[in-house]
Amino acid sequence: MRLLTFVVASTFLISCNNTRDYKDSSRATGWKMNAKEGGFQYNPKAKEQETGPGLVFIEGGTFTMGRVQDDPMHDWNNTPNQQHVQSFYMDETEVTNLMYMEYLDWIKEVFPPSNDNYRNIYEGALPDTLVWRNRLGFNETMTENYLRHPAYANYPVVGVSWIQAVEFSNWRSDRVNEFILEEEGFTTRGARYEVEAGETFSTDTYLNAPTLTYGGKDSITRGGKTSQSLLKRNEDSTNLYVQRKDGLLLPSYRLPTEAEWEYAALGLVGLRSYNVIRGRKKYPWDGQYTRSGDRRSRGDQLANFKQGDGDYGGIAGWSDDGADITAEIKSYEPNDYGLYDMAGNVAEWVADVYRPIVDDEFNDFNYYRGNVYTKNAIGKDGQVKIVTSDSIVYDTLSNGKIVARNLPGEILQVPVDEKETYLRTQFSESDNRDYRDGDKRSTRYYQSFGSGDDLGEGDERDPADGKRMYNSPRHRVSADSTGGLDRNFDTSNKRTTLIDNEVRVYKGGSWRDRDYWLDPAQRRFFPQDMATDYIGFRCAMSRVGSKSKKGKRPRN
């Protein structure tokens, strides 16, 4: 027994000595990671994505999109189809006047409208307060006060076009990530309050060309405590700046897709029975009525909507829904995902270009119509091109309003070309908004054996105008020799539709709508460069990593 014990122990010690220690080493090469000598560096402390300010986690899943009980409008654009949505985040409430005022204040500070070069940046971001006016109504109180008066601070912002909502989302992304870098000690504390027009922070610029961020000021990008500590270790380190692989910066805020918005509004998580959904939901809450059946709040309205002709809130008192126009956020109970006002209050912009039919035959995963693929512009020196104060790109919209498409400090974007599309099966063009529904191949005039480009003659302004699939009005706005705008309104009587690539979907009912429009499946469209007093928006953010935050456990 002694001899046997000695042999076993010796063998164990020898085998331990011959076994390499692969702890903290690569499973691919065996090399040690995060070694002081060099090699691959990564963040071992990085975990799942943090929830950004104002957001609520929405676990993705499968649902029936577009399922409605009736269609008295005869739109026939809600055909039921099965879709799957990945997990994402969405704003708990609609974007408020206070949130949008913070955006306007930042623009005014950094790009003062008193400067002729920046005036259109601020004016292009201003909501259209004249949306409240009515030829036969006295609404001047809202026109003058709704956006700026503190009494309306926590009310949803309106008068914002789809384009303005997108620009707000982009601004919000940069401000959140700028704050994260400062809090983590990578940038100089307080620098975000002292930036000038050509020195603004852009997330994409920081990730792609960090030395060009903040106008190329190293004193800011490498002035934090963490950066100083890294500099002391190795002045030539390539890890002085946060990279995407560090998992520190959040994905971009954006508008939700139509599928995401409808999925989140339904809140089917509250009706789940194993993997079967019992029944269906007409509203974001459970039940078939707009009044509460709960004993404590029985009879109270569950949303802010128009109850009938001349009835925007009910008789004053107990049966009143608490609002005549919009209502303050969180005035009503949230749905099962914790989202407020997914029915009523204001309708909301979503990211999608409108088409009468959702093309689920082509795609049933993260459905979205509106992809326009771009890439970073690269200069002759091999570096990305940064927009400067002298190279701001402005766009004149169909209604004559001028907006800035990018701001100084951002990377100039250009359409993808053959380098990205050659021999690919997923996409072949930069602009895919009218793919399979509005492009040349989808028209009844297209001939595969011909040139494919000649769609016939139309009016003198657009040779192919007569045979477009969606023959919508085309308004022209151009600048004359004096800098004034020449507005050419399309007066042709040959137009057959208002649908084109410039109209976007908006979802949900509003304070102006009857309860028919409270159904999350309902869908309508509006020009992306116009605004109303009943359409607002909320932001979303993609989820990276795991589908759920919690592990699955047995039900019983």
The pLDDT value recorded for residue 277 is 54
Count of domains observed in the chain: 2
Query: Is there a domain that residue 241 lies in?
Result: no
Claim to verify: residue 102 and residue 130 sit in the same structural domain: yes
**Confidence bin at 240 (pLDDT 50/70/90):** confident
Claim to verify: residue 532 and residue 476 sit in the same structural domain: no
Indicate if the pLDDT at residue 458 is higher than 50. no
| Segment (H or E) for 261 | helix 258-266
Asked whether 337 and 538 are in contact (CB, 8 A), the reply is: no
Query: Is there a domain that residue 126 lies in?
Result: yes
Query: Is there a domain that residue 161 lies in?
Result: yes
Tokens of 319: 């049966």
Indicate if the pLDDT at residue 501 is higher than 80. yes
First to last CA, the chain: 51
Average pLDDT of the residues in 214-229: 87
Task: Return d(Cα 264, Cα 58) in angstroms, integer.
Answer: 7
Identify residue 173 by its one-letter amino acid code: S
List the domain range (segments joined by +) for residue 355: 47-184+248-366+504-543
Query: Is there a domain that residue 394 lies in?
Result: no
The side-by-side arrangement of strands in the sheet containing 503-507 is: 523-527, 503-507, 347-353, 535-536
- Domain final residue pick, 478, 500, 522: 500
Q: Which residue has tokens 């998580």? A: 269
Claim to verify: residue 469 and residue 344 sit in the same structural domain: no
**DSSP summary character for residue 250:** P
Query: Is there a domain that residue 428 lies in?
Result: no
The pLDDT value recorded for residue 65 is 93
Identify residue 472 by its one-letter amino acid code: S
Q: Which residue has tokens 């809130």? A: 313
Claim to verify: residue 180 and residue 282 sit in the same structural domain: yes
Average pLDDT of the residues in 358-367: 96
- Residue 459: other Cβ atoms inside 10 A: 12
Query: Is there a domain that residue 96 lies in?
Result: yes
The pLDDT value recorded for residue 16 is 54
Claim to verify: residue 155 and residue 259 sit in the same structural domain: yes
The pLDDT value recorded for residue 485 is 74
What 3-state class would DSSP assign to 386? Answer: strand
Query: Is there a domain that residue 224 lies in?
Result: no
**DSSP summary character for residue 339:** -
Task: Quote the strand ranges of 272-431, DSSP E.
Answer: 272-273, 276-277, 347-353, 374-376, 394-396, 402-404, 413-415
Indicate if the pLDDT at residue 19 is higher than 80. no
Task: Return d(Cα 348, Cα 27) in angstroms, integer.
Answer: 47
535-536 vs 347-353, strand pairing mode:
parallel
CA angle at residue 409 from 407 to 414, to 5 degrees?
70
Tokens of 419: 């380098």
**Confidence bin at 17 (pLDDT 50/70/90):** low
Query: CB under 8 Å to 400, separation ≥6 — which residues?
Result: 477, 485, 487
Claim to verify: residue 450 and residue 528 sit in the same structural domain: no
Claim to verify: residue 474 and residue 534 sit in the same structural domain: no
Claim to verify: residue 107 and residue 145 sit in the same structural domain: yes
For residue 253, what is the domain's CATH number?
3.90.1580.10
Task: Return d(Cα 321, Cα 303) in angstroms, integer.
Answer: 7
CA angle at residue 194 from 191 to 200, to 5 degrees?
80
**Confidence bin at 270 (pLDDT 50/70/90):** low
Identify the CA nearest to 493 among candidates 514, 473, 463. 473
CB burial string 354-392: b at 16+ within 10 A, e below: bbeebebeeebeebbbbeeeeebeeeeeeebbbbebeeb
One DSSP character per residue, 36-54 reads: TTBS----TT--SPPPPTT
The pLDDT value recorded for residue 498 is 92
Q: CA 38 from chain center: how many Å?
A: 39
Tokens of 98: 């206070």
Cα–Cα distance list, 207 to 129, 149, 210, 240, 420 (Å)? 37, 38, 6, 12, 21
Residue-level length of the chain: 556
Asked whether 95 and 102 are in contact (CB, 8 A), the reply is: no
Claim to verify: residue 344 and residue 472 sit in the same structural domain: no
* CA-derived radius of gyration, the chain: 28
Query: CB under 8 Å to 215, separation ≥6 — which residues?
Result: 196, 198, 199, 409
Tokens of 413: 């974007």
Where is pLDDT greater, at 301 or 346?
346
Claim to verify: residue 95 and residue 168 sit in the same structural domain: yes
Average pLDDT of the residues in 74-78: 84
Claim to verify: residue 178 and residue 308 sit in the same structural domain: yes
Range with the poorest average pLDDT among 154-158, 455-459, 462-466: 455-459
Claim to verify: residue 516 and residue 473 sit in the same structural domain: no
Query: Is there a domain that residue 124 lies in?
Result: yes
Task: Quote the strand ranges of 312-466, DSSP E.
Answer: 347-353, 374-376, 394-396, 402-404, 413-415
Task: Return d(Cα 409, Cα 411) in angstroms, integer.
Answer: 7
**Confidence bin at 237 (pLDDT 50/70/90):** low
What 3-state class would DSSP assign to 104? Answer: helix
**Confidence bin at 463 (pLDDT 50/70/90):** very low
**Confidence bin at 456 (pLDDT 50/70/90):** very low
| Segment (H or E) for 226 | helix 225-233
CA angle at residue 543 from 539 to 548, to 5 degrees?
125
Task: Return d(Cα 265, Cα 507) in angstroms, integer.
Answer: 10
